[in-house]
A and B are shown apart, each in its own frame.
Chain A
Amino acid sequence: MPVHNGVEALRATLETLRARSEAITVFLVDDGSEPPIEPKDLPSASDAFRIVLARHVVNLGQGAALETARQLALRDETKYAAYVTMDADGQHRAADALALARAIEEGADVAFGNRFLGDSNVPRARRAVLFLARWFERAITGLRLADAHNGLRAFGRSALERVRIRQNRMAHATEIKLLVRGLRIVEVPVSVRYTKETLARGQRNAGAALILRDLMLQYLFGDSK
């Protein structure tokens, strides 16, 4: 789980996870928040609920934070049944995160949340941008998915090992789809709640142009390893 500022929403999101009966470990990456997120800002651990907190000393972007969380999870001594990514700003529900994890336990390699099948209140402008993003991703990845750039996703262990994210900012969502081609992929209905706060803090519609630019720069100049 990547986080940049917004400690109140983060705490509320973590509390909903802590309230679940399933065993959950959160690999929380503070992506250069000011002030830094401290352990005292977070819910306490329990038998079934653990938090591993890491901090980027400078802000790198959501993709970079997800990659740090991925590497933390892979280095953890526990081999988890599923690895879920979700936002820390309150848009995503714990129940949906666990539904994605169940899809992995039932045999999928990758599960993507589909906000259009769930009870989501997607604003009209965002809906239009996502429509275009969906077709763009279909064109370059060949994956016929009904949602695009949804931060709720889950991976099995082998899929997670494969998904090394190089896109530091928001283009990671498209990059992930490029990396999981050929795996068993399912879409799971999820509910994404947009509020004034989440829209103010989240990705701007105009960010689509930056995503295209980042993908092009990665293609032209990026690390080819």
Chain B
Amino acid sequence: MTIAAFLLLALVAGLVIYDWATLRGKNRRALVVEIAVFVAGAVFIVFPDRATALAHVVGIGRGVDFLLYPTVIWLVRESLLSRRYRIENAERLTEVVRELAIARASHVK
């Protein structure tokens, strides 16, 4: 195993341990998904040839590209969806605050 692979595995393990600890007492179901994805990632880190073999099957040259392309596509989409949700929530908050302000408005004597 290369130094880079070792460092990446340490990072993955550290993130899982940190998330597990900080989610103590909370719903950890999403963490199971995270761990599953990270374990798959760890396999490709330790055995990069497996990723390359899979990439060749679908016509992509390098294993890292095979993982990177869908990851970037998914992250861009997730980023845009998150932005939309934030803006829609801000619009809802504005409406609530406004209706409250109007309902409580009063004439100054």
Q: Do A and B bind each other?
A: yes
- The residues of A with any CB-CB pair to B shorter than 8 Å are 29, 39, 42, 44-45, 50-58, 60, 64, 67-68, 71-72, 75, 166, 168, 217, 220-223
- The residues of B with any CB-CB pair to A shorter than 8 Å are 83-84, 87-88, 90-91, 93-94, 97-98, 100-102, 104-109
**Cβ–Cβ < 8 Å partners of B94 in chain A:** 60, 64, 168
Bound form: Cα–Cα A52–B90 in Å: 26
B104 touches A217 (CB 8 A): no
B90 touches A75 (CB 8 A): no
A56 touches B107 (CB 8 A): no
Question: Nearest chain A CB to B43's CB is how many angstroms away?
Answer: 38
A58 touches B97 (CB 8 A): yes
Instruction: Among B87, B93, B108, point to the contact of A53 (Cβ < 8 A).
Output: B108
A223 touches B108 (CB 8 A): no
Instruction: Among A45, A55, A56, A221, point to the contact of B87 (Cβ < 8 A).
Output: A221
B105 touches A53 (CB 8 A): yes
Closest to B84 in A: A221
A71 touches B102 (CB 8 A): yes
**Cβ–Cβ < 8 Å partners of A223 in chain B:** 91
A52 touches B98 (CB 8 A): no
**Cβ–Cβ < 8 Å partners of B91 in chain A:** 166, 222-223
Bound form: Cα–Cα A94–B105 in Å: 24
**Cβ–Cβ < 8 Å partners of A71 in chain B:** 98, 102
Bound form: Cα–Cα A72–B105 in Å: 9
A50 touches B102 (CB 8 A): no
User: What 6 A-B pairs come out closest when comparing CB atoms?
Assistant: A54-B105, A51-B108, A54-B101, A39-B108, A221-B87, A221-B84
A57 touches B97 (CB 8 A): yes
**Cβ–Cβ < 8 Å partners of A64 in chain B:** 94, 97-98
A39-B106, A42-B108 given as contacts; is B84 within 8 A of A29 (CB)? no
B107 touches A52 (CB 8 A): yes
**Cβ–Cβ < 8 Å partners of A42 in chain B:** 108
Bound form: Cα–Cα A168–B83 in Å: 16
B98 touches A68 (CB 8 A): yes
**Cβ–Cβ < 8 Å partners of A221 in chain B:** 83-84, 87-88
Bound form: Cα–Cα A72–B98 in Å: 10
Question: Nearest chain A CB to B91's CB is how many angstroms away?
Answer: 6
5 contacts between A and B (CB under 8 A): A53-B106, A54-B101, A67-B98, A72-B105, A221-B84
Bound form: Cα–Cα A223–B90 in Å: 11
- Add 17 more A-B contacts to A44-B108, A57-B97, A221-B83 (CB < 8 A): A42-B108, A45-B108, A45-B109, A50-B108, A51-B108, A52-B105, A53-B105, A53-B108, A54-B102, A56-B97, A64-B94, A72-B102, A72-B105, A217-B87, A221-B84, A221-B88, A223-B91
